[in-house]
Amino acid sequence: MEFALTAEHEEMRRMARNFAEKRIAPTMEEDEKEHRFRAELVKEMADQGFFACIAPEKYGGLEVGHVAACIMTEEIAAVSPSWGLPFNLQMNAIQPVLLAFGTEEQREKHIPPLIAAEKLGCFAITEANSGSDVASMKSQAVETKDGWILNGSKMWISGVPVADTGIIFVYTDREKKHRGISAFMVDMHAEGLEQRAIETKLGLHCAPTGEIIFQDVKLPKDSLVGEQGAGFKICMSMLDNTRLSSAARAVGVARACFDHSVRYANEREQFGTVIGQHQMIQQQLADMYVEHEAARLLVYRAAWIKDQGQRNTLEVSMAKYFSSEAAVRAANEAVKIFGSYGFSSEYPVERFYRDAKSYQIVEGTSNIQRMIIGQYALGIRK
Ligand SMILES: Cc1cc2nc3c(=O)[nH]c(=O)nc-3n(C[C@H](O)[C@H](O)[C@H](O)COP(=O)(O)OP(=O)(O)OC[C@H]3O[C@@H](n4cnc5c(N)ncnc54)[C@H](O)[C@@H]3O)c2cc1C
């Protein structure tokens, strides 16, 4: 079987591009300045079917697949990386986890409101002292006769402090290390749970990020996702999906930086000609051109493998690593091509430069992706 985009994919690209231009772009710069998250915009994205790509019809999904999701994510991120994030929070994190590991009741309860954006989602792995080394987390849930009592905290969680529902990874048996982590669906308005905003971010100003504090939060028995102790495996499977979405956002940024730079290089004149006539600018643009196209193909391949029902961990790590680095390089080059205007918030490349850095960190840093890729190369992972 060969991979090719369908007419349906192209239609989805047009639809997402149109949405980004009409609904996000007009207020983008002001929203960024005000650090404004607009819940109503997530709802509008839901109404377009953006979060319905993966789930079957019986949960309100359209099941058009991961390639379609990546295409639409790229289009939104090319206008605003902040507004690319809801794809992960509403769809890529929780929905595939519940489809693969959840009970029928959990799927029916949680998937439809996420698709419709009636509830805003989040996923929480990271803690203040536990990032790349997931198993070093401290938060824990202790079993009681009615369910579980959750204590601890999570840090750098996208969608906090506005989340309604989340999948949270905590220890249920620390002695067992990786095999002692479990996954829970948590009501983010539960008693004892506090969401706090982190206001000190470099970028992604329209996408809230925050901290969660759990103080004796009571979780019902049916909040456990999958088997007790299966949380690490569930988390890694979830990251295959969230990393893919992050890679698609990075492609959007790399492409946007390229497009803006081409336009500027055809307008800005120095030494009696447009700067695009200077060979060094052509070289910069050539690298940006090749890299964002190559990144996109890596993303499509990883998404396509998933759509065939196959595991894509290696391909996702390659896509995530390459597209994140390509986005940062593209943003860096774009700022240079724009000169002092690249240093100004008057043009979007300054925002892309700040936002792109997030891709080298989130969903596993570039070093962690290289570690995974290297381990596959050596046969340590299979
Ligand atoms: C904007 C934003 C949104 C986020 N959203 C979420 C979210 O929704 N949910 C969530 O759970 N988390 C989220 N995170 C957290 C993110 O996933 C972590 O920051 C990331 O996994 C890295 O962890 P760390 O920051 O603790 O870095 P550390 O793990 O402390 O790493 C520090 C440095 O050491 C390097 N390093 C660490 N271990 C190794 C190794 N073995 N080999 C080589 N180098 C290594 C890293 O690459 C990095 O350069 C978000 C972060 C940001 C910035």
Decide whether any atom of ligand 1 lies within 6 Å of the 131 Cβ. yes
CB 138 within 8 A of CB 257: no
Using the mean position of ligand 1's atoms as its centre, give its distance from the Cα of residue 128 in Å: 10
Decide whether any atom of ligand 1 lies within 6 Å of the 125 Cβ. yes
Using the mean position of ligand 1's atoms as its centre, give its distance from the Cα of residue 364 in Å: 6
Coil/strand/helix, residue 206: coil
Question: Which residue puts its alpha carbon closest to atom 23 of ligand 1?
Answer: 131
Decide whether any atom of ligand 1 lies within 6 Å of the 371 Cβ. yes
Residue 1 pLDDT > 90: no
Using the mean position of ligand 1's atoms as its centre, give its distance from the Cα of residue 156 in Å: 9
Atom of ligand 1 nearest to the CA of 89: 8
Residue 310 pLDDT > 90: yes
CB 283 within 8 A of CB 261: no
CB 184 within 8 A of CB 150: yes
Per-residue model confidence (pLDDT) at position 326:
98
Helix axes 349-356, 313-338, angle to 10 degrees: 150
Atom of ligand 1 nearest to the CA of 201: 1
Residue 2 pLDDT > 80: no
Using the mean position of ligand 1's atoms as its centre, give its distance from the Cα of residue 279 in Å: 38
Residue 210 pLDDT > 70: yes
Q: How would residue 246 be classed by pLDDT, with cut points 50, 70 and 90? A: very high
Which tokens is 251 given?
A: 């492609």
Decide whether any atom of ligand 1 lies within 6 Å of the 149 Cβ. no
The tokens 């969230």 sit on which residue?
A: 242
Q: Tell me the best of 156, 167, 205, 235 to mutate to test the pocket of ligand 1, counting ligand atoms within 8 Å of each CB and taking the most.
A: 156
Decide whether any atom of ligand 1 lies within 6 Å of the 160 Cβ. no
Decide whether any atom of ligand 1 lies within 6 Å of the 204 Cβ. yes
CA angle centred on 311, ends 233 and 133, rounded to 5°: 35
pLDDT tens, residue by residue, 336-353: 999 999 999 999 999 999
Decide whether any atom of ligand 1 lies within 6 Å of the 135 Cβ. no
Using the mean position of ligand 1's atoms as its centre, give its distance from the Cα of residue 327 in Å: 18
Whole-Å CA distances, 104 to 72, 109, 111, 203 = 28, 9, 10, 38
pLDDT over 90 percentage in the chain? 99
Q: Which residues, in sequence order, are bridge partners of residue 378?
A: none
CA distance 243 to 302: 10
Decide whether any atom of ligand 1 lies within 6 Å of the 362 Cβ. yes
Q: How would residue 4 be classed by pLDDT, with cut points 50, 70 and 90? A: confident
Per-residue model confidence (pLDDT) at position 152:
98
DSSP state of 92: I
Assessment of whether the complete model's pTM goes beyond 0.95: yes
CB 74 within 8 A of CB 83: no
Which tokens is 137 given?
A: 């987390």
Per-residue model confidence (pLDDT) at position 116:
98
CA distance 379 to 249: 30
pLDDT tens, residue by residue, 15-52: 999 999 999 999 999 999 999 999 999 999 999 999 99
CA distance 27 to 43: 17
Atom of ligand 1 nearest to the CA of 159: 8
Q: Which residues are catalytic?
A: 363
Residue 230 pLDDT > 70: yes
Omega before 161 within 30 of 0, i.e. cis = yes
Identify which of 79, 84, 86 has the alpha carbon closest to the alpha carbon of residue 28. Answer: 79
Q: What is the rounded average pLDDT of the residues 225-234? A: 98
CB atoms within 10 A of CB 263: 11
Per-residue model confidence (pLDDT) at position 24:
97
Decide whether any atom of ligand 1 lies within 6 Å of the 358 Cβ. yes
Q: Which residues, in sequence order, are bridge partners of residue 214?
A: 152, 193
Q: Which residues, in sequence order, are bridge partners of residue 167?
A: 123, 185
Which tokens is 39 given?
A: 């819940």
Per-residue model confidence (pLDDT) at position 333:
98
Residues sharing a CB contact under 8 Å with residue 112, sequence separation 6 or more, in sequence order: 59, 60, 118
CB 22 within 8 A of CB 91: no
Using the mean position of ligand 1's atoms as its centre, give its distance from the Cα of residue 105 in Å: 33
Per-residue model confidence (pLDDT) at position 171:
98
Per-residue model confidence (pLDDT) at position 3:
66
Coil/strand/helix, residue 127: strand
